[in-house]
Amino acid sequence: MKVKEIMKALEAKHPGEKEYLQAVEEVLVSIEKVYNEHPEFEKAKIVERLVEPDRIFTFRVTWVNDKGEVCTNLGYRVQFNAALGAYKGGLRFHPAVNVSMLKFLGFEQIFKNSLTNLPLGGGKGGADFDPTGKSDAEIMRFCQAFMYELWRNIGPDQDSPAGDVGVGGREIGYLYGAYKKLAREHSTGALTGKSYGWGGSLIRPEATGFGAMYYVERMVKEKKETMKGKKIALSGFGNVAWGAATKAVEMGAKVVAISGPDGVCEIKDGITKEMIDYMLEMRASNRNKVEDMATKFPKAAKFTAGKKAWSVKCDIAMPCAFQNELSEEDANMLIKNGVKFVAEVSNMGCQPGAIAAFQKAKLPFAPGKAVNAGGVATSGLEICQNAGHINWTAEEVDVKLHKIMNDIYDMCVEYGKKGNTIDYVKGANIAGFMRVAKAMLAQGII
Ligand code: GLU
């Protein structure tokens, strides 16, 4: 395999699919050497097959808003690769959603799901629907209209969507209600992220953030340091940032910044439990404004409009919001301010220039597909509980999640260690790829 040639062909075939091409290139560069040591991969054209989704569904979603107006959005589901199991991955509702974004997310999901060591293939979906300012009734009608189209193509042994940006517990509730009504199936893992009491798993809401902190704790330990008193800057204030802040405080660290599209809230003395609880209310309001935190807690939080979380001095930076949210310029500012560790929690949260800057500065940098895998892993645990018609306790789920994150960390070190440094990006990409490639080889040319 020659990465340059493959990328040139893909650019010609999928012009303008920026995020997708970026995600593919990052993985191919990491695996090139190992891949070329396995002529059987080349013979079976593993890479050429892996970079194209198995199929993509695109559909019209028409719904009625509170003013009685008819609105139309575009919905998608990308079923990318099923070598390891049924397609699995979230749904994103955001106005910028398009095929390129969902192909990048679906491609990343293949390797992330592989790293969990669970039987999960890779997929992703969503719609160009903007939840900002929508009423609860509008969200429900949109979710129902979305499911009218999608329900035939999902199911616990076929494809199991979950949440992502713009899709949380409430949306999963409406989507699942519509699915049940149409498919006449009950208590299944056709969707995950359900609420506890009707098929959901304890710890699933916290899982992405908890898993990320378990991973970061290992990075910190590797340098013979502890989490106690570490200053953490998080971007976003959604489900992922909420889970990460909860566990960070439990570990004795200090969350000194959270952010939103409107700016940053600096929290000098560290976020409190009360403020973490308030993050849930801020998200549920659909206002999408982090300034609300400073309005509610004027003494503890200082809001600055138009600034990012990366402008706040910290030991650990954790992007938790959107792809490419941390630029090279942001990376240089973090480095100048003495950041010691960077862990992506959003998918592809750092631009390539930012990753290069962190690696040049010899800072431990870990990629989203390893750090945030706890979310989908716990979705896998939800499917297990649904299939077995049982509920595990929070402790049982947390122990399993913690073990999965420790195993992912160990795999990243195994494949990424070079002398005294660990290339977590390379480690995660190679470890994730090997499991998928071997499964594809064993299953023949299909
Ligand atoms: N959207 C999450 C992710 O990026 C979770 C997916 C899932 O639970 O299926 O991994």
- State if residue 192 touches ligand 1 by the CB under 6 angstroms criterion: yes
In a shared domain, residues 212 and 109: no
112, 124, 308, 369: the catalytic one is 124
Catalytic annotation present for 228: no
**Which atom of ligand 1 is found nearest the CA of 193?**
8
End residue of a domain, out of 317, 339, 363: 363
Same domain, 317 and 222: yes
* Cβ neighbours around 109 below 10 Å, total: 28
User: Is 179 within a domain?
Assistant: yes
Q: Which of 323, 343, 363 is the last residue of a domain?
A: 363
Whether residues 284 and 225 fall in one domain: yes
Same domain? For 151 and 230 the reply is: no
Which range of residues forms the domain containing residue 108? 53-183
Residue 281 lies in a domain: yes
CATH number at residue 331: 3.40.50.720
Cα 189 to ligand 1 centre (Å) = 14
In a domain, 385, yes or no: no
Residue 202 belongs to some domain of the structure = no
> 282 and 351 in one domain?
yes
Which parts of the chain have pLDDT scores under 70? none
Any domain includes 143: yes
How many domains, the chain?
2
CATH of the domain at 133: 3.40.50.10860
Is the torsion defined by CA of 40, 43, 44, 46 positive or negative?
Answer: positive
Same-domain pairing of 249 and 135: no
**Residue burial 163-194, b: 16+ Cβ < 10 Å; e: rest:** bbbbbbbbbbbbbbebbbeeeeeeebbbbbbb
Ligand 1, pocket-test mutation among 115, 344, 372, 384, most atoms within 8 A of CB: 372
pLDDT of the residue at 186: 86
Could you tell me if the CB of 116 is within 6 A of ligand 1?
A: no
Residue 131, domain member (yes or no): yes
Contacts of 54 by beta carbon, 8 Å cutoff, 6+ apart: 79, 80, 81, 82, 87
Non-local CB neighbours of 384 within 8 Å, separated by 6+ positions: none
pLDDT at 286 (0 to 100): 87
- Residue 424 placed within a domain: no
Determine the distance separating the centroid of ligand 1 and the alpha carbon of 33, expressed in angstroms: 29
Distances (CA, A) of 88 to 130, 146, 190, 204, 256: 23, 18, 10, 15, 34
Same domain flag for 215 and 305: yes
**Do residues 303 and 203 touch, judged by C-beta distance below 8 A?**
no
Q: Whose CA is nearest to atom 10 of ligand 1?
A: 376
Q: Is 346 in the pocket of ligand 1 (CB under 6 A)?
A: no
444 in a structural domain = no
- Are 264 and 143 found together in one domain? no
Burial of 421 (0-12, 13-18, 19+ CB in 10 A): exposed
Same domain, yes or no, for 136 and 236?
no
Same domain? For 166 and 110 the reply is: yes
Tens-digit pLDDT profile for residues 366-421: 999 999 999 999 999 999 999 999 999 999 999 999 999 999 999 999 999 999 99
The CA 372 to ligand 1 mean position distance, Å, reads 8
Domain boundary among 313, 331, 363: 363
Measured distance CA(395)–CA(393) in Å, rounded: 5
158 with 125, same domain: the answer is yes
**354 and 215 both lie in a single domain:** yes
Which residue has a Cα nearest atom 8 of ligand 1?
Answer: 376
Q: How far is the CA of 304 from the centre of ligand 1 (A)?
A: 31
